[in-house]
Structure 1
Amino acid sequence: MGIPMSIDVRAGRAGCEAEGEAAAAAAVEAAFAVLRSADIRFSPFRVDSELCRFARSETVASADLVEILAIGERARVASGGAFSVRAPDGSLDTNGVVKGWAAQRAAETLREHGVTSFCLNAGGDVVTGGEPEPGRGWRTGVRDPWDPRRMLAVVEQRDGAVATSGTYERGAHVWDGRTGERSLPLVAATVVAGDLTTADVLATCVLVLGPQSLGWAVEQGARQAFAVLPDGRIVTAAEGQ
């Protein structure tokens, strides 16, 4: 997917026994296989990908592609058209769904292999399970868009996900589905949710819709949401507020 990915496994191993470590390694490899498969199948940059062949009407959508398109359509409707899997040129681009969806699938693969404590980092979007050590959750830093050495917040949770959408690293790669405009009201938006599919899609929606959408994101399933305005101010919303 053109981004760094890592998996930190703390469970699914019998102490330091070789058998436990081998099982954990097999689980990690299976999770990475899920990510590689999603990249091959749904990349808009591979002319032979399932996505591109579907867009050219050369194949019918698989169950996975149907699910991805359905997630995108629900987000489009919920956001009033701000989220879209159609690029400004009209081409089909599901990247706004696929990364979070694939990383969540990979996390579920780890659990299917018996790994109960892990942190999967997909280019800064994180899904976690269990605890890295007894008594505390995994800690995910939300970085300052202008200073990668500084954290704006640290989110601690056990089973959950954190996703950030912004323009400070990859430039104007997110567009407003209603207008095609790439000049957006926020520098970055971060969403904490129970799964990475939800967190990733909602972070993109908030980036497009602006700071007034934080409460809406909570209504849509976010546990917490952060937004960084161009002047450096940070606004937040959370469950129960």
Structure 2
Amino acid sequence: MGHQVGDMLLHAVASRLADCVRESDTVARLGGDEFVIVIADLAAPEDAITVIEKSRQALMVPFYIEDQELALTTSIGVSYYPKDGDDPDSLLRNADIAMYYAKEAGGDAFRIYSPTMNTLARERVEFENSLRKALERQEFVLYYQPVISLDTGKIVCAEVLLRWQNPKLGLVMPQEFIPITEDTGLIGPLGEWLLQEACAQTKQWQLEGFAPIKIAVNLSAKQFNQGDVADMVEKF
């Protein structure tokens, strides 16, 4: 999507959202692809859900811009004044936390803020910070699972298994940290380290007199989107 098309899409989103609220309400763009809706003087808190569902339905309809059909996924977080904050910063922060949970649910969803989300969000931040430092601290380890031919009984390949040896959490399995590396962009440097280490290990086995062996490495789709996977493999 080009820059011009992106701008036109954002204007179209703002227009649809404005059609979903009253003239007394406010629709504003916070930055990037994030918008905020301020709904004042609700008769009941539940009335906000009507606006949310109306907005979701409006944004589910594809956009047609410059002969392109564009479909969006919408994640919405909700906070209430004064229960969830008595100033704009607090309300926005808590709505943002709730929006994160909506994204975690798979998108096209909304979540209403609750105080328990703060604890879970803080734990997520701490987990991310530990993950960022794990490469520097050499906490990742590789295990090699042999693949054996049923015909010959010989090892024909080794599957590389990545694990995170965290000092506090112990051995952390990939399904617990790979999605976060994909969200934060850490999958790039982590994937490069994995390839380098795995290739170095196969070279070491050959130096010790073992025959060359194929290795199988699991890659994330996000790594292919970066477009340098083939270059990395060739380099190592």
Shorter-chain-normalised TM-score: which range? under 0.3
Normalised by the size of structure 2, how large is the TM-score? 0.26
Larger radius of gyration: 2
When normalised by structure 1's length, the TM-score is: 0.25
